[in-house]
Structure 1
């Protein structure tokens, strides 16, 4: 899952039943999932996936947490901004992106609401900006006139790169001379090794797979700059939430439970489950990257969103001149109302 990898990160959500729902999880014991609320108003949720990866809504469906809702796959994406735009246009029911990209879209009057975190940065899961061993690039100043591979523009990688350049003291004119090149995450490593770009954004399993082959090292990382945090959220439209409150709750509830399943289950079991899901869906995908999965990277239990995960980017966009000071208020920007973990005592 790529972020800041969807980095590697990428994109999906969760919902709710009237009574207790008995499901069988991947562990050794059956688990009873208690749903709060009424029967979902819809029967399926349209979404975009990610090649060779498993999203938490997909995991939730496979574990039985999402029933009776079903997911309807409509294609893959490598772009968080594109994914949430598809939600706005009604082509999908949920999508996910870097929180800074979500803030920009909300500032543009998009009627969307972040409802649960789905990727982030921790000690095991983060994105590095890699150069080849022997590269003359040693500092931010050396990036002037160079090319950096990113999965999409206007999202996690662009925010992190610009922050790195700002902190190093580069001027606005110098930053403009650093070129961001959109490259699919699965081919980013190859593009760097072929010297088609000077720096490659690599996170999660794609980073670890590349490091296993050697010959590269990081110039900087998002963890170096921002520490541990949840970086992206799934969104629903305001209209969808209003018309489908039970389905909205079920979606978030199921996704939250899947996140915690992945967080608390032995890594080998999580990897095996991901391989099973990828093989059974029959999209002719390579399962080798999921063998490197280490953690969810999500800061809040069950994907609960915190104020700082949006407040940081509101201030960043104000400083960048992208939005005006006071244009957006943190209150009401996102919601944890459907997340069953939001009420747990800290």
Structure 2
């Protein structure tokens, strides 16, 4: 009789525990659904990211314009390196990051579970980068760079690809190209290292280029726009897991960035600069707003940051030529997605 009572009590406790777990699971599911409903259907309402000192990124502009709401951004620090920025996405330290498309291709070749979803910078007649030497420098041609040093902001990104493409086109052999040394120098000190003869060539773009040209005494050996013309050069990426688990938030992010890009494209330059100044002053990071005074254009080729096939196939082909990728290892047309971009149907 006692054993029967014990068995009954044990079964009852098990049923109660199971019921509690079921109710708890249902409660969490209902809470999750309610939370999503209250947040406009978004699975998450906060995205972690890295910024850039004295600059305004398109996600930051989108948030300020109200295009991301109720999605909010959480700033965790600054970066000057695209490869580092997207690596932080892979490791889960941030939710989105951006880099040069060639650097993204290299990370995808390493099986990184990421997808480029919207372009965020590029090259046009107003926005480009030059590779500068001092007036009177003996460096006149690509051959003269053998044994010389070129300052770049990081390795394995936009500038390394452009420099090596220039050297290839000018006929240097792989062995000669290896003798051209790329030195990592923070962009803000690139001009200084050039004038101090610590490097032979400095990579300068945007405000840093314009300020250096105002001071005179330098000229470009070559420019990225001369090599590749107008093109979108870099993209924001999300992890495949994030997209799968948070499709509404992913769409909201891309839509907001796309609209911010178009706002910057179609708004008078003075108004864009004024907005950037306001954003920098309001975020309280003790930054100088002088840099944004030199803003000229988005540089982005596709409307709303739409990604073009060539903006990835170019770099896949380039890496195959370099021997970094095998022929057919990656299909550039399948590496990115415009699915969430609101301007996709318009483009079609």
Does TM, scored on the shorter chain, surpass 0.5? yes
Compute the displacement of 1:331 (Å): 4.0
SS of the residue aligned with 2:192? helix
Structure 2: give runs of 5+ residues left out of the alignment.
1-35
Residue 319 of structure 2 aligns with which residue?
Answer: 317
1:202 is matched with which residue? 204
Once residues 330 and 182 of structure 1 are traced to their aligned partners in structure 2, the CA distance between those partners, rounded to angstroms, is 28
SS at match of 1:51: coil
Q: CA deviation at 1:226?
A: 0.5
The 2-side partners of 1:167 and 1:152 are apart by 22
Which residue number in structure 2 is paired with residue 23 of structure 1? none
- Measure the CA separation in 1 of the matches of 2:253 and 2:179: 43
Asked if 2 retains the 8 angstrom alpha-carbon contact of 1:131 and 1:200, the reply is yes
State the 4+ residue runs in structure 1 displaced beyond 2 angstroms: none
Unaligned runs of 5+ in 1: 1-17, 20-36
Q: Is the 2:100–2:157 contact (alpha carbons within 8 Å) kept by the matching residues of 1?
A: yes
Say if 2:265 is the partner of 1:263: yes
The TM-score, its normalising length taken from structure 2, stands at: 0.87
CA contact (8 A) 1:38 1:246 kept: no
From 80, 88, 112, the equivalent of 2:90 is: 88
**Mapped partners of 1:160, 1:148: distance in 2:** 12
Partner of 2:41: 39
CA RMSD, aligned part only?
Answer: 1.4
Superposed displacement of residue 332, structure 1: 2.9
- SS of residue paired to 1:343: helix
> Does the aligned pair in 2 maintain the 1:209–1:292 contact within 8 Å?
no
Q: What secondary structure sits across from 1:101 in the alignment? A: helix
3-state SS of 2:344 partner = coil
- 1:174-210 CA deviation, whole Å, 9 max, x = no partner? 1111110111112212221222111111112221122
Counterpart among 227, 230, 233 of residue 229 in structure 2 = 227
| Counterpart secondary structure, 2:222 | strand
Alignment correspondent of 1:340: 342
TM-aligned CA distance change 1:88 to 1:345, over 3 Å: closer
Q: Which has the higher helix share?
A: 2
Structure-2 separation of matches of 1:177 and 1:54: 37
Who wins on radius of gyration, i.e. which is larger?
2
Name the SS for the 2:299 alignment partner: coil
Match of 1:164 in 2: 166
Distance in 2 between the 1:149 and 1:70 partners? Answer: 36
